[in-house]
Chain A
């Protein structure tokens, strides 16, 4: 590929962006004054929301590019229901097409590197270098396979699945579960906090147990929790396990996986080894690799610290980080709901900074996470987070938030409604 070709490629895409800008504002009487360009990397709950809201709130004045590796969005929330067989992966899948109606230029591709000094995004293929005024990094998580030597190669990773990024892995794990003989052991291992979606593992236990109860009643799920106890909605999950799945679930706390023997179908912890017929191992996590490359990983070599007033990196100017990749503020879970809300702090601040307005000095967000305990019941956890000017961070509002008194069919309906509305909120 010659440099000349790259340059033309670049102009072509800038042209596409400009056309999208005009189309997005066709109903307005005056074209907005151009206010620069934002690049968003990652089209999940955080990135897609940020892209849409920057277009909405700037009235089309800011040009927005969204880069996403995958062709379509597949939701992690509700993916445990695919394992149980009560939803299909297609029901959890959405396209990026409607974001174009907001004037977002969606690029399907992968970013190779970011040059924060020159404010350039460099792609692995397809596209030439592109410049930005501000960058939103929403790369999600990568798995730290170096912590599990036996899983630290591509072949092993095809056999022992995480299914902690929804999509192919979810479907493949469902197939492994279906192929497991009745009387078999589904071994599920997950890491210490912080990891993506604190209640997610316990919901998965419910969903796998729900399937086993119906389809393979002599089987068991062996849960190896690296944490000392259930980390989220403990009473509610224990009630569901005892009421609905008694005898199916064996729960072992303080069992952090140290290695995996793929051929022997064994997970090794500090003092013990556990064998299963199907292994589902979720490795420890860190911010997606592009964050380290960009120089914004500042906490424990894993997460990105940000100023929560703007979501701008504490280290690299003009780069905002949102979602699971961030070093969470106190009481803030790594959740899709939280990423969606952090994206709006980012959007509001970026629009203000790029159009010469004052940044909102009192941001407030909330987290609402539902967990499905079966195909028909769900429960929630919610928290409100407000800017504390003295401590200069977002803190949970005391006396607000909480969990469901009990799982219910009514909350299952609200959980379904949450999914539809948050997917619409991020993807148009």
Chain B
């Protein structure tokens, strides 16, 4: 159940991810690494900041877009999310979705 939901989410994001990655399969990984100083290595947070590892990709995408559009209150994510394209956000979300959540 969990796997299939994940698969659907990842597949749904595939065209955008492919567009963002071009010939570079490590793009999602590299972009997601930019989140680690606040969200932890591979999205596993030890602080008050939310963990992103193992979250559904579509949920991450939706949340970031709500931050970007000012629909969701934020202290900093409304400013950071404006720096990334839809395709980049999809690539980041797919990377975190594929990570094992913290034990």
Interface residues of A (CB under 8 A from B): 52-53, 57, 337, 340-341, 344-345, 348, 352, 357-358, 360-366, 368, 380, 382, 384, 386, 397, 399-402, 404, 408, 410-411, 413-414, 416-422, 424-425
> A365 to B36, Cβ gap below 8 A?
no
Which residues from chain A contact B36 at a C-beta distance below 8 Å?
Answer: 340, 421-422, 425
> B41 to A425, Cβ gap below 8 A?
yes
Pick from B27, B37, B80: contact of A341, CB under 8 Å: B37
> B83 to A368, Cβ gap below 8 A?
no
CB-CB nearest in chain A for B47: A417
CB-CB nearest in chain A for B24: A360
Which residues from chain B contact A52 at a C-beta distance below 8 Å?
Answer: 41
- CA–CA, A408 and B30, complex, Å: 31
- Count of chain B residues near A, Cβ 8 A: 30
Which residues from chain A contact B26 at a C-beta distance below 8 Å?
Answer: 57, 348, 352, 357, 360
Which residues from chain A contact B47 at a C-beta distance below 8 Å?
Answer: 416-421
Which residues from chain A contact B49 at a C-beta distance below 8 Å?
Answer: 414, 417-418, 421
Q: Can you spell out 25 A-B residue pairs with CB atoms less than 8 angstroms apart?
A: A57-B26, A57-B29, A337-B37, A340-B37, A341-B33, A358-B23, A360-B24, A361-B22, A362-B24, A364-B34, A364-B84, A384-B83, A399-B82, A400-B79, A400-B82, A401-B79, A411-B75, A417-B38, A417-B48, A418-B37, A418-B38, A420-B47, A421-B40, A421-B47, A424-B40
Beyond the given A364-B88, A416-B48, could you list 9 further A-B residue pairs with CB under 8 A, ordered by the A residue number? A360-B24, A360-B30, A361-B22, A361-B24, A421-B36, A421-B49, A422-B37, A424-B41, A425-B37
> A363 to B76, Cβ gap below 8 A?
no
Which residues from chain A contact B34 at a C-beta distance below 8 Å?
Answer: 341, 344, 364-366
Which chain B residues (62-103) contact chain A, with CB distance < 8 Å? Answer: 75-76, 79-84, 88
Which residues from chain B contact A402 at a C-beta distance below 8 Å?
Answer: 79
Shortest Cβ gap from A162 to chain B (Å)? 25
Which residues from chain B contact A337 at a C-beta distance below 8 Å?
Answer: 37
CB-CB nearest in chain A for B27: A360
- CA–CA, A413 and B38, complex, Å: 12
Shortest Cβ gap from B79 to chain A (Å)? 4
- CA–CA, A408 and B46, complex, Å: 21
Does B55 sit within 8 A of A, measured CB to CB?
no
